[in-house]
Amino acid sequence: MDLLEQGFGCTVSICNVTECLALHDEWLVLQEKSHQSCFLNWNWISAWLNTSSDITTQFVVVRATQNDKTIGLAIFSTKSKRTFYGKSLKQLWLNRTGCETKDQVWIEHNDFLVASSDSANIRKLMFNSLLAQTDLWDEIFIGLSPLHVTNAFQQEHHFTRELISSPSFDADISKYATLSDYLQSLSKNTRSQINRSKRGLESLGELELSLAQTESDKKQYLSEISALHIEKWGPTIHGSGFNNPIFVDFHQNILINDQSNQYTRLYRLRHNGKSLGYVYLLINSNTWSFYLSAIEFHEDPKIKVGLLLHSMIIEQAIAVGVNTYDFLAGEAQYKKSLSNTLATEQKLVCFYRPTFYMLIREQLRKLKNLYHHHQSST
């Protein structure tokens, strides 16, 4: 373990561990003192540790303490990657593994868990302490993270490359008393599509929005989502997560363990007894985050099931005092249509050590990208 005395009486320790689930109590206490996202909730972190690690998995834990109390925690999984040139690189991945199959569970708003009282300084101290431990890493991967996180880290370490950059959308519903009020904040075209879809379906029968509350409900909904999701995304280049046993185990773990339904919400919309769509949400404080959906597209192209389903869920969110409905990252027209705030951005960033080898490697990478760009434009 490395102990590094820092400013304002804060101590940062960095250690290698194999069993991060032992952080349970410490994480929960700090979680209550932080403004963390749903992805830093112990429900998510513990499910990730349970389903993505085994007895050979190694982790690096960065811990900040002040007056014998934990004010910052970060979990990095370790990975050794052999490059094309035969060199082995030591990688650290924040709340990820670096394995595409395991990381298909897809974390966003990724960050260190830090006390909200001085989050920026705590984050900075923890990151700089990790940077100083050059025997632990050649590359550090952080993301998808909001810009205030990645920018803060990039100010401390300039040798970076961006692997992913994606717009992120949400709806501010804090000042609306009804769905109608919220819809007025959207474009006339979006309101028209939602209202037309609702009238069209209700003229032909009953609409029913239901929430999975029991373990049996959740298993049934998840099974039905799986079939729809595989049908739509299975043939694509990335495929459906429901073809991945790790992805399935992860979300079953989260949903089934959330017996009080405080962290997840799984909705189903039916019309005349036939399922039209499902939406899976993660809940944190006053934010509902839309994680995944499966939609049965209607034969009438004027019926926009997805827009209608989200609007009905947003109506429930408004009724219980939710402030934000977060659509998370990803370019999609329906997200733009339902968002009433400016789009933000999330990134996955690699921080690399500026050794001779790594600098040459990055230059070769840039030359390769320029070549492919030139080839695609000619």
Residues 135, 230, single domain; the answer is no
Look at residue 333 and tell me if it is in a domain.
Answer: no
Low-confidence ranges of the chain (pLDDT < 70): 1-8, 371-378
User: So what's the pLDDT on residue 3?
Assistant: 56
Residues 354, 308, single domain; the answer is no
Look at residue 350 and tell me if it is in a domain.
Answer: yes
Residues 256, 227, single domain; the answer is yes
Residues 296, 365, single domain; the answer is no
Residues 246, 288, single domain; the answer is yes
Q: Print the domain residue range for 350.
A: 2-167+345-377
Look at residue 103 and tell me if it is in a domain.
Answer: yes
Q: Say how many domains are in the chain.
A: 2
Look at residue 338 and tell me if it is in a domain.
Answer: no
Look at residue 337 and tell me if it is in a domain.
Answer: no
Residues 281, 367, single domain; the answer is no
User: So what's the pLDDT on residue 232?
Assistant: 83
Q: Which of 64, 61, 91 is nearest to 74 (CA)?
A: 61
Taking the mean position of all CA atoms in its chain, how far away is CA 154?
20
Residues 110-121: tens digit of each pLDDT: 999 999 989 999
User: So what's the pLDDT on residue 368?
Assistant: 74
Residues 352, 260, single domain; the answer is no
Residues 125, 202, single domain; the answer is no
pTM beyond 0.85: the answer is yes
Look at residue 158 and tell me if it is in a domain.
Answer: yes
Look at residue 81 and tell me if it is in a domain.
Answer: yes
User: So what's the pLDDT on residue 6?
Assistant: 63
- Which residues, in sequence order, are bridge partners of residue 208? 270
User: So what's the pLDDT on residue 288?
Assistant: 98
Residues 362, 311, single domain; the answer is no
Q: Which of 93, 113, 103, 132 is nearest to 6 (CA)?
A: 132
Strands of the chain, DSSP E: 2-5, 10-17, 59-66, 69-82, 88-94, 113-114, 139-146, 160-172, 207-211, 264-271, 274-284, 287-295, 324-329, 344-352
Structure tokens that stand for 4 in this block: 């590094």
DSSP 89: E
Distance between CA atoms of 171 and 169, rounded to whole angstroms? 7
- Contacts of 4-10 with C-beta under 8 Å, sequence gap 24+, read 4/129, 4/132, 6/64, 6/125, 6/129, 7/121, 7/125, 8/66, 8/118, 8/121, 9/66, 9/67, 10/64, 10/65, 10/66, 10/71, 10/122, 10/125
User: So what's the pLDDT on residue 47?
Assistant: 95
Domain of 239, CATH number, reads 3.40.630.30
Residues 187, 160, single domain; the answer is no
Distance between CA atoms of 222 and 279, rounded to whole angstroms? 10
Look at residue 264 and tell me if it is in a domain.
Answer: yes
Residues 146, 178, single domain; the answer is no
Residues 287, 262, single domain; the answer is yes
